[in-house]
Amino acid sequence: MKANFKYNLAWLGVMVLGFVIIDACEFLGIINTFIENMLVTMGINIILATGLNLIIGFSGQFSLGHAGFMAIGAYATGIITQNIATPLGFYLSMGVGIIIAMIAALIVGIPTLRLRGDYLAIATMGAAEIIRILINNFKITNGAAGLFNIPPLVTWVTVYVLMCLTTIITVNFIHSRNGRAIMSVREDEIAAEAMGINTTRWKLAAFVFGAGTAAIGGSLHAAYIQTIAPGDFNIMASIAILIIVVLGGVGSITGTFVAAMVLGALDTILQNFGTLRMIIYALALILIMIFKPAGLLGNWEFSFKRLSRRLRKESAIHE
Amino acid sequence: MQTIGQQLINGLSLGSIYALLALGYTMVYGIIKLINFAHGDIYMLGAFWGYYAINGLHFNFILAMLSAMVFCALVGVLIEYFAYRPLRNSPRITALITAIGVSFLLENGMTYLFSANARSFPQVIRTVTYHVAGLRISNIQLLILGTACFLMLLLELIIKRTKMGKAMRAVSVDPQAAQLVGINLNHTISFTFALGSAMAGAAGVLIGLYYNSIDPLMGMTPGIKAFVAAVIGGIGSVPGASLGGFLIGLLETGVQAVGLSAYKDAVVYFVLIVILLVLPAGIFGKKTKEKV
């Protein structure tokens, strides 16, 4: 903790700086509702994609069901805040969403995580579809019409703070002893097992953790957009998050941030192109997989530690 | 008793469509261990080809189906050549993401070119309903069942009796060893894609006739269900895929018959998860032991 104090301080500085810049722009009127909407979408996508990257990039399991867990969070918020329309109600609903999503992830994960790669993808996709179909038919979720007039309890500040919080927790989780166990499962499951790591348990841990962050993203989505329908959480939604992860780099949180921001901006610019935008994304996905399968940034991470070390080295050379 | 018989007929005709699709999944998975996500979209392309061949070129049914099969075989080979071949030696996840990309591209490309609206498929064959022992059987159902069974038998003959079929079986057992005995890997894989895609094309035209409605996203759900069928039958096994297809068709109509039609997709996915749990190798699949 002490050794990294300087670098943690630097990261805190970055977060505060980001907040101050957005706040100043908001104050000066540079950010209108349109841009604010874009920024909030980026923030929510970062939360969602960070969770998915933990599953795909760090534990090496392929989940195609992220939108299902997002739906749980979104509907928890939608239903609860319509009855308790206070900020406290929102956080309560988010907590409920996270817990339900984690339980669902446990139920889905325990049988399916024994499967390998591509089977797992199909099984998680099936699970997400089951969640969506259930929501589509329940009375409490208002069926296919979805929920509307959800109280607007979320501003960009909430999204920003939660984005920072989930990222800090996720990164710390990855850098902990448990995180190393998870990465060892990705590298070689058999070798990891031989080292005494309970592979199923750690795969499950990453999966459940990812599901929890997806629920946070869903809660924010519901409270900010104020309208949700089962159709928002179909396979396409899962694939959209997958595209962010793959584009940024499978196993790079920095990459996820960059990709979520670039794609968020592109989405806004290309809004009028509709389907053509999807064609471009699909082509980009195929081309990246063929020419740079690890994603644009691979597993490279930006780190203040390395930066300062390099600066020190360079100044030593100049002296 | 009568309803059961009726549902059996409906289930079998729907199941034969799934079986045709599942064959493509199982063959491709058997040979290069890839879940070809785009397979359902090839089926959609087949339906669209049939639509334009009948409306624009005034083909009759047989000609429309044959041309759709040829067209889809071509598309399948092209997809394999451009998207999957460069990735043959990369991790399976990479190939799977590419397959998702191809599927996404076909769906959105077709939506862009032909709009997302559903259109009604031209009825080249007039529907005649026969009443046999209190059951209603339409000639289209008979046609679907007959064509599907014929194509499955043909496929079985190709795989078991021809030289190319022998090569396919060899590659699916051990690609390296197959190359050592002089089998051209690329040709064999292309041929597998062509066969599987042709089956999907035929299924597309048949479903157009049966359901009378096609749209660019029609391939998504049946594609996944057909994959479930392939898994149930034991992925990599050709008779297993046919059996799995029929089982899924029967299950779906059965669920609809008891009044749970809103949940019919959920039931199929649920069955998938259960099957993967209790019988991961499927009905006809071989159990493989992992070697360190």
Q: Of the segments A23-27, A61-65, B148-152, which one has the largest average pLDDT value? A: B148-152
Domain assignment present for residue B263? The answer is: no
Helix or strand (DSSP H, E) at B120: strand B119-120
Domain assignment present for residue A186? The answer is: yes
Q: What is the mean pLDDT of residues B96-124?
A: 87
Domain assignment present for residue B287? The answer is: no
State how many domains chain B has. Answer: 1
Note whether B224 contacts A: Cβ–Cβ < 8 A.
yes
Domain assignment present for residue B290? The answer is: no
- B97: pLDDT strictly greater than 90: no
Secondary structure percentages of chain A, helix, strand, coil, to 5? 80, 0, 20
Do the beta carbons of residue A243 and residue A288 sit within 8 Å? no
pLDDT for B287 = 64
**Local confidence band at A51 (pLDDT 50, 70, 90 cut-offs):** very high
Nearest to A121 among B96, B269, B280 (CB): B96
Domain assignment present for residue B245? The answer is: no
Q: How far is A54 from chain B (nearest CA, A)?
A: 15
Residue of A nearest to B228 (CA): A122
Residue of B nearest to A132 (CA): B266
State how many domains chain A has. Answer: 1
pLDDT for A200 = 87
Q: For residue range B2-44, what is the model confidence (pLDDT) as tens digits?
A: 778 888 888 898 899 999 999 988 889 888 888 888 999 999 9
Query: How high is the mean pLDDT of chain B?
Result: 87
Structural domain range at position A167: 47-235
Structural domain range at position B142: 23-219
Question: The pTM is what?
Answer: 0.87
Do the beta carbons of residue B81 and residue A259 sit within 8 Å? no
Query: Bridge-partner residues for A147, per DSSP?
Result: A228
Share of chain B above pLDDT 70, in %: 97
pLDDT for B290 = 56
Note whether B281 contacts A: Cβ–Cβ < 8 A.
no
- A312: pLDDT strictly greater than 80: yes
CA distance to A29, A179, B47, B121, per residue, from B204 (Å): 54, 47, 4, 11
The candidate with the shortest Cα–Cα distance to B100, out of A153, A302, A118, A201, is A118
Instruction: Give buried/exposed letters for B250-264 (b at 16+ CB in 10 A, else e).
Output: bbbbbbbeeeeeebb
Instruction: Please indicate whether, in this complex, the C-beta atoms of A279 and B108 are within 8 angstroms of each other.
Output: yes
CA distance to A57, A160, A183, A220, per residue, from A303 (Å): 18, 21, 19, 28
**Local confidence band at A117 (pLDDT 50, 70, 90 cut-offs):** low
Query: Which site among A124, A239, A244, A290 would you substitute to test the B interface, given the most B Cβ atoms closer than 10 Å to its Cβ?
Result: A290
Domain assignment present for residue B178? The answer is: yes
CA distance to A84, B9, B122, B220, B262, per residue, from A244 (Å): 34, 45, 41, 22, 32
Domain assignment present for residue B108? The answer is: yes
- A1: pLDDT strictly greater than 60: no
pLDDT for B288 = 62
- Judged by DSSP in three states, A251 sits in coil
Nearest to B97 among A136, A246, A283 (CB): A246
Domain assignment present for residue B118? The answer is: yes
- A46: pLDDT strictly greater than 70: yes
Domain assignment present for residue A223? The answer is: yes
Q: How far is B93 from chain A (nearest CA, A)?
A: 7
CA distance A183 to A188: 9
Note whether B115 contacts A: Cβ–Cβ < 8 A.
no
Instruction: Give the DSSP letter of residue A56.
Output: I
Query: Which site among A286, A287, A288, A291 would you substitute to test the B interface, given the most B Cβ atoms closer than 10 Å to its Cβ?
Result: A286
Instruction: Give the DSSP letter of residue A293.
Output: T
Q: Which two tokens stand for residue A59?
A: 């534990």
Q: What is the mean pLDDT of residues A100-120?
A: 83
Nearest to B270 among A130, A242, A281 (CB): A130
Q: What is the mean pLDDT of residues A85-90?
A: 88
Domain assignment present for residue A143? The answer is: yes
Binding-site residues on chain A for chain B (CB distance < 8 A): 56, 62, 64, 108, 111-112, 115, 117-119, 121-123, 125-127, 129-130, 133-134, 136-137, 190, 235, 239, 242, 246, 275-276, 278-279, 281-283, 285-286, 289-290, 293
Domain assignment present for residue B167? The answer is: yes
